[in-house]
Chain A
Amino acid sequence: MDIKDFVANFADQFDDTDPEMITAGTAFHDLEEWSSLIALSVLNMVNKQYGYNMTFDEMKPCVTVEDLFNFVASKVK
Chain B
Amino acid sequence: MANPFSLEGKTVLITGAASGIGRATAKECANMGATLVLFDLNEAGLASVKADIGDESIVTMALNLTDYDALCNAVEQLPKLDGVFSNAGIVLSLMAKFSKKEDMEKIFNVNTFSHINLIQQLISQKKLNKGASIVFTSSMSGVYAGLVGGSLYGSTKGAIVGYSKALAIELAPRGIRVNTIHPGMIETPLTKNTALSQDVLDEDAKNYPLGRYGKPEEVAYAVVYLLSDATVWMTGSQLLLDGGYSVK
Partner-B contacts on A (CB < 8 A): 36-37, 40-41, 43-45, 47-48, 53-57, 60
Contact = CB atoms under 8 A, between A and B. Distances in A.
Contacts, number: 33
Contacts of A56: 195-197, 199-200
Most buried by B among A36, A37, A44, A57: A44
A40 B197 contact: no
B93 interface: yes
Given A56-B195, A56-B196, A56-B197, A44 B148 contact: no
B97 A41 contact: yes
A75 B109 CA distance: 29
Contacts of B94: 44
A45 B99 CA distance: 11
Nearest to B103: A48
Most buried by B among A36, A37, A48, A56: A56
Given A36-B148, A36-B200, A48 B98 contact: yes
Contacts of A47: 98
B95 interface: yes
